[in-house]
Amino acid sequence: MRALISVSDKSGIVELAKELVFLGIDIISTGGTYNKLKESNIPAIEISELTGFPECLDGRVKTLHPAVHAGLLAIRNNPSHMKQLADLNIDTIDLVIVNLYPFKETVLKDEVTRAEAVENIDIGGPTMLRSAAKNYQDVAVVVDPMDYDKVLSELKEQGAVSLDTKLYLMHKVFMHTSAYDTLIAEYLKNERNDISLPETLTMTFEKVQDMRYGENPHQSAAFYREVGKKQGSITDAVQLNGKELSFNNINDTNGALELLKEFTEPTVVACKHGNPCGVGSADNIDDAWTKASSADRVSIFGGIVVLNREVTLKVAQEMNKIFLEVVVAPSYDDEALKLLQTKKNVRLLQMADINKPQNENAYDLKKVNGGLIVQTIDSKLLEEEELKVVTDRAPSDKEMDDLLFAWRVVKFVKSNGIALAKDMQTVGIGPGQVNRVWATKQAIDHAAELIDADATKGAVLASDAFFPFDDCVEAAHQAGITAIIQPGGSIRDEDSIKKSNEYGIAMVFTGMRHFKH
């Protein structure tokens, strides 16, 4: 029995090779792996001795030879195959232990050059893996050091690797080579700054953790991260306290973080079930917390809170009075962290790069039965040159500040969505209604219920898409709202403009909608 060993990740390889030699298995090896084995006094045959051909082109060609691949691909119970091996004086290879050049680690380095990245594209390794995996019934192929013990145990106990294990290892090989090639393709896409949607879409993700369950307890789930430098992502947050994040925690927190990135001033976002329930901006984070938490004291209970400034002791003291699922901030005051950690279940996350925006070339993916719908992310807020006052009265400076604040918020409210704001604080949010006037009335009703009857007087309104009728303007006027921001574009825009002029409401068109389904 012969084993071919050629590994970039050499962890555990010396110990495994010693056990293989003890079992009477001959070892063939290459380059650095061969040297590592010889240093450890492990007998091995160098690959050029097997092929009769020296390594060449700085090691680019060493295993691409019939003596290797015929030994891997020959079907053992096929007499014709075995006769050809005998005629060619080629012996079989029964165990392949290979892992690949560290392409991922290379391209993740700072200032890596294209030449360096390309040189770390493995050719011989994937070819050997594919050959061995194709002939899985006769060859055991190991790509992951975590499987060394499994293979070794079966060799010791049974004298061979079981067919079930070989099939498992085959599957693992093709998952690995597929992910490897996908990383290369993704690197080249970024090198070319290619923003097109390709004819075929292949992506690779690495598992962060298995989860206790999915959206509901009867659904299984896992958390995966994209491979690469993903700044400002929850996948790289450091957890300082609490239970592991649930499926819903991650989904809701991600939405809250993406909204938070729209703000540079001190801001707090509270989120519940994928929708913001309270947002506040101020000159300092203490006042921003007060605005966000007082915007909806009911819904914030059991919610997600994200902040773009350090959590102060004062904020932590207020947080500690209610139940929160998740808190995310760039940092925590020492005393604030100690206080929050007294609640063992609150999940405290630290993200130093919390304000880093997503790559504008990133994809937004939604799985549908039998397919996938893909779009570029909604990275823009508005085109400033498209912003247009369409009513007789223009917004005051204060109203315009509140309009742009509300517009940032409504971008992340499920459509049909309405956001009401006053003094850089949300006072009412109407998410996910099947018609826009219902969303408007819901936001107004919530403002009166959760804050006070006068909460909407002097407030502004943002709508994620145009008004198909003037009924939303009517409802806004009845609530005392003085300014509206919306995309415009309805065939009945003039109805809403006329109604706004009638009531002295300022209206601004953005020329850009933000549906969020």
Told to judge if 411 belongs to the known catalytic residues of this protein, a careful annotator would answer no
Tokens coding 339: 């206080």
Residue 282 sits at φ, ψ, to 5 deg, of: -160, -175
**H-helix or E-strand spanning residue 494:** helix 493-503
| C-alpha–C-alpha distance, residues 439 and 450, integer Å | 16
* Closest C-alpha to 280, from 453, 423, 449: 423
| C-alpha–C-alpha distance, residues 70 and 83, integer Å | 12
Helix, strand, or coil here: 152? helix
Instruction: Name residues whose C-beta falls within 8 Å of residue 126's C-beta, 6 or more positions apart in sequence.
Output: 100, 177, 180, 181
List 150, 273, 343, 457, catalytic entry:
273
Instruction: Decide if 129 contacts 142 (C-beta within 8 A).
Output: no
Helix, strand, or coil here: 513? coil
**DSSP letters of 156-206?**
HHHSS--HHHHHHHHHHHHHHHHHHHHHHHHHHHHHTT--SPPSS----EE
Half-sphere exposure of 185 (CA within 13 A, CB side): 12
| C-alpha–C-alpha distance, residues 77 and 63, integer Å | 25
Helix, strand, or coil here: 515? coil
Instruction: Decide if 259 contacts 409 (C-beta within 8 A).
Output: yes
**Residue ranges with strand state E in 214-301:** 221-226, 238-241, 267-272, 275-281
| C-alpha–C-alpha distance, residues 243 and 201, integer Å | 35
List 10, 18, 81, 134, catalytic entry:
134
Q: Residue 75: how many CB atoms within 10 A of its CB?
A: 12
Residue 2 one-letter amino acid? R
Cα 415 to chain center, whole Å?
A: 23
Told to judge if 207 belongs to the known catalytic residues of this protein, a careful annotator would answer no
* Closest C-alpha to 223, from 365, 213, 232: 213
Q: Which residues are the active-site residues?
A: 134, 273
